[in-house]
Chain A
Amino acid sequence: MLTITNLTANAGGKPILKGISLTVNAGEVHAIMGPNGSGKSTLAQVIAGHPGYEVTGGSVTYEGQDLLELEAEVRAQQGIFLAFQYPVEIPGVSNAYFLRAAYNEVRKAHGEDEVDPLEFLDIMAKKLKVVEMDEAMLQRSVNAGFSGGEKKRNEILQMAVLEPKLAVLDETDSGLDIDALRIVAEGVNKLKRPDNATIVVTHYQRLLNYIVPDFVHVLAQGRIVRSGGKELALELEERGYDWLLEPAGASA
């Protein structure tokens, strides 16, 4: 589904990603872990097409096409979804309107008819249950005045509505209490299908108790320094990141 080969990227002229290679197949869950500043979030943003990062080398292939050639909205329409670490507030625009606009863009891209507000409400009713959210929140402005937990749940609601092929969850666990974490993780699990894939970017192992990864990759100083199975996450929980950093530093 997604093949990243030797990807390098800069932010503000400074190299952040220094050669990332990663393959994600349908049905898989990958966890990307690493200390602060390792480039985890940058990787998520580059996959989504954030204009603030400049790709300086390497390639990203998604479903057989050159992903880096595509505008951010086209990537979204083709099934890439980024759950933001800091979901953005859009005052005055209702959640319902925003979601329907996004939903219709995806449908249009697939040559399907747009849905009207009433049909959309039916679709929403089901999706709201996935994240245990109240219908009233559809009338509130996008993320405006939401608590941290509500924002993250809103991200998962959007994911449920847009049904992406590849979901990238960027530190979705940060700032969540244990109940909210459970709701968010269960939401993600319910949406898992054999034909989609998930990349979970996280600093802590905690989230991985709920969303069990098939692969764990450790990112440090812009490189993947170790890959393994889910047991790697547990090892990191116990030993921290330092033991992995030294060899990377020494080889530099």
Chain B
Amino acid sequence: MTAHSNYRELFEAATHGVAKDWLPSLKIAAIEQFEAIGFPTTRDEDWHFTSVTPIAERIFRPVRSSGTSLTSDDVARFTYGQEAWHLLVFVNGRYEPSLSSFAELDAEAQVMTFSEALKEAPELLAERLGTLAPSTQAFTALNTAFMADGVVIRVPKDVVIETPIHILHLTDAHANGASLHPRTLMIAERGARMVLVETFATVGGGAYFTNHVAEVVVGAQARVDHYKVQREGGEAFHVGTTQATQERDSIYHAFSFATGAQLSRTNVYSRLLGENAEVRLNGLYALEEAQHGDHQTYVEHIAPACSSREVYKGILDGTSHGVFNGKVFVHPEAQQTDGKQTNKALLLSEGARVDTKPQLEIFADDVKCTHGATVGRLDEMAQFYMKSRGIGADRTRALLTYAFAAEVLELIELEPLKAALEGLLFERFIPPETA
């Protein structure tokens, strides 16, 4: 029996809830698609440096238990000290109203769980779900087949939601050996604005597998800031795909922060459909021990005069393995494209390894595209300079590592999040001074 045929069995066994007719057929199509393509192998160009065998060879069942022992104190560890934010907490893939805190929303904006959305806005769901992130990718197909809960957000025309919305995905011991397939659908209509934070973390979840998909529609003149913080447990597996489409004059900023999981893969894709749209894809990952973290970005310039900006940085310690693959594709019609990509990796230890592939595919002639990649150690001159000022070797290394990382965090415009992530890095890299 092949690895992926197990999922058909699980699919048949699962109850997919009460739903409109279109949903089961979407799911059936997805599981069929998944069966047809199977898990990717390192022979697939986009998976060349990441083997998903550890995921493929196990059978992750959906979480059985519906109870949770998590308390609001557990939740508070992951909310960046922001009580005012709209908070939706999912535990083991299921919405937990008791742990969530949701203030009255501005105007007619809608924030719904999946089951709410099926009741309140079925047409919206039927129209949009699965259209941005197609099931042609194995993990997306798997998510579509098994998605049980998630969040649907719709911000109507010209509505600005000032308060960030935070979706917190937590797991506990019940998740051990199980898989979660959370889904996010976010629609910012013309001129709308919103800030979304998605956090993935665990309280003793063990070896679970999160397979997340987010679909983001950024309407004309809309702006969406989308932060993803991946702090899964050290035994966990994480695959996440964010697929955005952008209409004219829109801005989409996606920031990915990743320190968790033994094996993770984060895809961020944006399709620039309307003129003069701007996309910013930034990220920071810090890996240690035997962690494997893979980041893929894909910007598709379809309309003219759009700009893309990317800065990704990685810090690799232990025998960790980092992968970055940034693709920029410029269609023949996308004249006056302005694309810039920077990708830097810092190798802290001898056993650390990085593979990077910044790729440009250009079919229009009036374009300006650049990419730069560097890999290296800490700057020896800077180390020497700091040592010559009396700072010890360990501390010098720590401070310079922190500085390398902090630079990319500067791109976060959500101040409390920036401060919190800086704090996390500080704890990680700067040892407490011993007298």
State if A and B touch, Cβ cutoff 8 Å: no
- Partner-A contacts on B (CB < 8 A): none
- Partner-B contacts on A (CB < 8 A): none
